[in-house]
Amino acid sequence: MSAKRHRKKSRKLWVLILLCIIVGGAYYIYSHRTQSLKYFETQFNPSGLEQVEINYGKSIDLAAGTFDLPPHFLKALCMLECSGRKIVKPRFEKHVYKRLIEVKEGKISNYEHVTPSMLSDATDEALRNLASSWGPFQLMGYKCLLLNIKIADIRGDDGVYWGVKWINETYGKMLRKGRFKDAFHIHNTGRPHPIGAPRTYDPNYVTNGLKYMEYFNKPQIMQPSKD
C-alpha cells in the first residue's frame, strides 16, 4: 500500500472515531438529561411544590417568623406530608389506636405523654380521631391534647400555625441548629435519625425532604402566594 493511500485510510479512521465520540457524547448528554428530568418529575412533583407555595407559603412564612424556624424546612415537610393539597385526607394509624385504647383502659400508664385521665371520657370515634393524622403537616390527633386544642384547630384555617407550634415545642431547637436530617426523622418516627438506614415508612422520606428544602431555598423559583 502506498503512503498516500495509507494516510487517506488513516484520516477516514480518525473521522469515524471522532464521529463515534460526538454521537456517543450527544447520546450520553441526552440520556442523562432525560433521566434527570424524569427523576425531578417523579421525586419532586413540580406541581405539588408549587401548590405548597400557593396554598401554604404565606402562612408558613408567618409561622416560621413567629417561632424562628426555617421556612424552607417547613415547606419541604408540607410537601412530604400532603403534597401541597388544600384538602388533606386524614390517615388512620391502627397501631396508635390500639395504644390509646390501652392507655384508656389503664393497661399502660401513658403513650407519648397521653395519660388515662386525658382519655377518660373519649368515645371510640374520638379515639379514632386522636389516632389519625390531620392537616398540612399530618399532625397526629392526640398531639392536640398536649397543645390543649381541638382536632378542628389543626385541620382548619389555623392548621399551619398549630402544626408549626407543635414542631417548635418538639424539635424546634434541633431545627435552629440546622439538624434537618434528624428533624425529618423525628417528625415521621418520633426519634432522631439513627446510624445507618432510616426507620421511616418511606425509606426516601428524609432524602426527599432535604432535596425539597433545596427547592424552597431558591427565591427565584418561588410562586406568588395566594393564601
| Domain boundaries of the chain, sorted by first residue | 44-86+158-221
Q: Give the pLDDT of residue 224.
A: 44
pTM attached to this predicted model: 0.75
Task: Report the C-alpha gap between 223 and 84 in whole angstroms.
Answer: 13
Which tens digit of pLDDT belongs to each residue from 26-43? 554 544 444 444 444 444
CB atoms within 10 A of CB 139: 25
Q: Give the pLDDT of residue 207.
A: 96
Nearest residue to 138 via CA among 208, 84, 72: 84
Burial of 102 (0-12, 13-18, 19+ CB in 10 A): middle
Q: Give the pLDDT of residue 155.
A: 87
- Dump strand ranges (E) for the chain: 91-92, 132-134, 139-140
Q: For residue 106, how far is the Cα from the chain centroid?
A: 35
Which tens digit of pLDDT belongs to each residue from 48-74? 899 999 999 999 999 999 999 999 999
Using H for helix, E for strand and C for coil, what is the string for 106-169? Answer: CCCCCECCECHHHHCCCCHHHHHHHCEEECCCCEECCHHHHHCCCHHHHHCCCHHHHHHHHHHH
Which tens digit of pLDDT belongs to each residue from 76-125? 999 999 999 999 999 999 999 999 999 999 999 999 889 999 999 999 99
Span 214-223, average pLDDT:
70
